[in-house]
Amino acid sequence: MATGGRGARGFTDCAVGWARRPERRSAGYASETGKLCKILGLALAMFAPGPALAWGAAGHEIVAAVAEARLSPEARRMVRDIAGDVPISDRAIATWADAQRVRATRPWHYVNIPMSSGRYDAHRDCPSGACAVAAIERAKGDLTAGSSAMQRGDALRWLVHLVADLHQPLHAGDPWDRGGNEFPVRIGRRRQPSNLHRVWDQDVVKPLLRHRTVVVAARMLADRIAPADAGRWATDLTPASWAEQSSREAAAIYAELGRQPSDKTILRLPPEYVAAQRERVEVALQRGGVRLAALLNQIAGARDGG
């Protein structure tokens, strides 16, 4: 996988076409090409192999929406110059990366850190730069210094998405069970087997959306962020540090279950398991949104020479 100048480059003709049209458009803009790209993107996201999609579409939109409310004027201008009138919480930006799961980019969505270590080691955990930590750093570089509209557009979409990915604890899980993908579970009386990673990707966000839209859920979470927490999170803009924090959260999740990643017998989770994770999920989404905003503000300041 490339780790240098290409950075977070596009991998589909649809992505290239989108990035080469930097003119502003309304949120309702939809050309025939755009419709086709949306269909292709959904198909890729549904049938691409590999781990499930972190947080689901709603979780990614929530993280991006929390970030939007905290963007500086310079960052808002930067985003507008790249994406026109499309907000970063729109699925065209927030979940675009999940449709790019060709073999080379699949590892960009996660990093596996041994729980016995709890520390990110680039040589061990990110060979050839193939992990979320390195991919975020590349996207930062391309968004800061990228010379073409295509490069900046792809970098923005990768950055928005991967920051959310890295705040899902099992996207920094143990390599033994591939971040919970090989840790079998069943929830309550469900007969269909699942795995712990999928539960955290697909199930734990659902209680936030009960009787709420994504917009309302994001506003609720944003309003609950304590200034002291926001200040602390916004000063930690190192992706490796985020990965270590998520790894510790993953270790806590396993400890609460009384299991190790090496355990392969099916674990029956109680029906209330998902609801019991709500506070942990809310904090992770809030933290991701605050850090995404702070990172975009930092990049916009650097681009403006500040």
Q: Which helix (H) or strand (E) holds 233?
A: helix 227-234
Q: What is the DSSP string of 108-158?
A: GG-----TTT-S--HHHHSGGG-SHHHHHHHHHHHHHH--SHHHHHHHHHH
CB 24 within 8 A of CB 85: yes
* Sheet strand arrangement including 267-269: 194-195, 184-187, 267-269
CATH 1.10.1840.10 fits 13-303, yes or no: no
What does the pLDDT look like over 249-291, one tens digit per residue? Answer: 999 999 999 999 988 889 999 999 999 999 999 999 999 999 9
Q: Whose CA is closest to 93, among 182, 179, 163?
A: 163
- Give the C-alpha separation, 184 to 265, whole Å: 7
CA distances from 15 to 10, 40, 152, 158, 284 (A): 6, 11, 12, 11, 29
Distance CA 118, CA 30 (A): 45
Tokens for 157? Answer: 């979409």
Main-chain dihedrals φ then ψ at residue 184, nearest 5 degrees:
-75, 140
Note the pLDDT of residue 53. 62
User: 70 phi and psi, to 5 degrees?
Assistant: -115, 10
**Half-sphere exposure in the Cβ direction for 160 (13 Å, CA):** 33
Domain range list for the chain: 13-303
Task: Report d(CA 45, CA 205) in Å as an integer.
Answer: 18
Distance CA 306, CA 302 (A): 5
> What is the per-residue pLDDT for 15?
39
Task: Please give the Cα distance from 28 to 25 (Å, whole number).
Answer: 8
pLDDT of residue 164: 98
Global pTM value: 0.83
| DSSP assignment letter at 211 | T
Low-confidence residues of the chain: pLDDT under 70? 1-53, 305-306
pLDDT value of position 306: 55
What are 226-255's pLDDT values in tens digits? 999 999 999 999 999 999 999 999 999 999
Torsion-angle region of 289 (φ positive above 0: left; ψ -120 to 50: alpha; else: beta): alpha
Going by C-alpha positions, the residue among 241, 261, 263 that lies closest to residue 251 is 261
